[in-house]
Structure 1
Amino acid sequence: MCKENILIVEDDADINNLIAKTLKKRDYLVTQAFSGSEANLRLSMEDFDMVLLDLMLPGLSGEELIKEIRAKKHMPILVISAKTELENKVEVLNLGADDYITKPFELDEIVARVNSQFRRYRKFDSNTKENSSVELKFKDLVLNEECREVKVKNKNIYLTGHEFDILRILLKNPDKVYSRGALYEQVWKSGYYGEDNTVNVHISNIRKKIKEIQQEEEYIKTVWGIGFKLEKN
């Protein structure tokens, strides 16, 4: 039985209650917040395993809340929003969201996306317990597989689940060049059709977060026309 605690942040009470009722039926623990400010307060007082988040909220906006979460915590963030433009989705992924669902939505899709995120986290937890190499090191970066933490110069950087998975793959095979398609298929577990910018967005986000601490070194190299690998200088 699932015992993960999910924070639902949605100012429309009917939508919030509907999602909460649906997830409770699937044996998830649920906490509800109806503004960005209330959600931020709850996050400061309690640990959650996932956040389902609207963007257009009273108090703190969804985008501002994502920044607050990523500055302090590591958990899946699923955005549920009426904003459908590509630039909105790219911005939110850059800020640190793991997934983006547009309104109107089907409840079965919400449940499927939630289950998918937790399966991936459980899988990596299980795999790392069987793996004798818990830490992967490269230059001033250390990735801990067991606790899913990344440090640069001994300072934590907060990656989304997909960002962590991409970096982990590159660190596991430092001499290998990965195409965008290969990374997409390994991380998202689905087919790549050559027109999705998702991998580029996540690579850019990883670089940006590393640069905030380590500006002198490059960590991920773009191999033009092929893909990405570690930058060994």
Structure 2
Amino acid sequence: MRRVLVVEDETSIRELIALNLQMAGYQVLEAGSAEQGLALLSQGQKCDAAVLDVMLPGMNGFSLCETIRRDDPNIGIIILSAKSMEQDKIRGLSIGADDYMTKPFSVSELLARIEALCRRVNRGAAEAPVPDETRMVSGQFILDQKSRVLYKAGKPIDLTQVEFQIMELFFQNPGTALVREKILEGVWGENYYGDVKIVDVNIRRLRMKVEDEPSSPKHILTVWGYGYRWNG
């Protein structure tokens, strides 16, 4: 059974999310603070996804997101907050969140996004046993579908599930300009409700990991007014 961590200090909202997740067949871990959430995870309660409120007592949701992401590159993370300013969304995505929703929110939309995240996490687990010969090579880069790790000149680069799937799209379409909407559909699913700007944030994060000079990229190239192109 898929497991979701819900960290929200407003009891009514937390219970609403938990109830709907349970009705949809998920196991739910509830926490009213970041510290409680981390304590649950430290007890070995591995989760497929996490829904994190930003405005929490003590450690805030952004710091919690960073902490969880350091320990688990595969977990799907949704930041949930009353803040709707663009810089808050960008900050959440830049520090490792996979998605961002603002309050008030649609429970059905939240469930759809959690479902999409869990499919990606489970997909990674299901693909782990594939043979080594399925490694994808592009120049000095190797994308290992068994370990879910990207290698650059033999050195491993840890990727989140979202980052890994973006790289899969690039490796499958070398030298091809991919429109942002195609990347969004290929990674987040065709029924995703979010903004295409989430692609830009993840590309920025990927460049920090794969480029020698992220400000002057040689591999993940911008196709102005369209999208991005991979150059191995």
Question: TM-score with structure 2 length normalisation?
Answer: 0.81
Question: Does residue 32 of the first structure (1) align with residue 33 of the second (2)?
Answer: no
Deviation at 1:226, TM superposition (A): 4.3
On the 8 A contact 2:132/2:144 being kept in 1, the answer is no
Cα deviation, residue 82, structure 1: 0.9
Moved more, 61-70 or 112-121: 112-121
Offset at residue 156 of structure 1 (A): 4.0
- In the aligned structure 1, how far is the partner of 2:19 from the partner of 2:191? 32
* Identical-residue share of aligned pairs (%): 31
State the alpha-carbon separation in 2 of the partners of residues 130 and 30 from structure 1.
Answer: 30
The more displaced of 48-57 and 136-145 is 136-145
Q: Is 1:113 aligned to 2:117, yes or no?
A: no
1:219–1:123 distance in 2 versus 1, CA, 3 Å: same
Gaps of at least 5 residues in structure 1 are none
Residues 88-126 of structure 1 deviation map (CA, whole Å, 9 limit, x = unaligned): 112111111111122122322222222222234445666
Structure 2 residue 53 is matched with structure 1 residue 51: no
- Give the letter for the 1:208 counterpart: M
Deviations 1:173-225 (A, max 9, x none): 22322222332232233489xx84232221111111335xx569843122344
Rounded to whole Å, the distance in 2 between the matches of 1:126 and 1:155 is 21
Q: Does the 8 Å contact 1:55/1:61 carry over to 2?
A: yes
Distance in 2 separating the partners of 1:112 and 1:87:
24
Unmatched 5+ residue regions in structure 2? none
Q: Do the aligned residues in 1 keep the contact of 2:7 with 2:53 (CA within 8 Å)?
A: yes
Which runs of structure 2 are paired with 1:85-124 in the superposition (5 Å)? 85-123=85-123
Q: CA deviation at 1:130?
A: 7.6
1:21 correspondence with 2:22? no
Change in 2 beyond 3 A, CA 1:215/1:196: closer
Tell me, yes or no, if the aligned pair for 2:54 and 2:79 is still in contact at 8 Å.
Answer: yes
Residue in 2 aligned with 1:157?
158
> In terms of mean alpha carbon deviation, does 106-115 or 70-79 score higher?
106-115
Aligned length: 225
User: Equivalent residue for 2:206?
Assistant: 206
Aligned residue identity for 1:184: L
CA contact (8 A) 1:157 1:210 kept: no
Q: CA RMSD in A?
A: 2.9
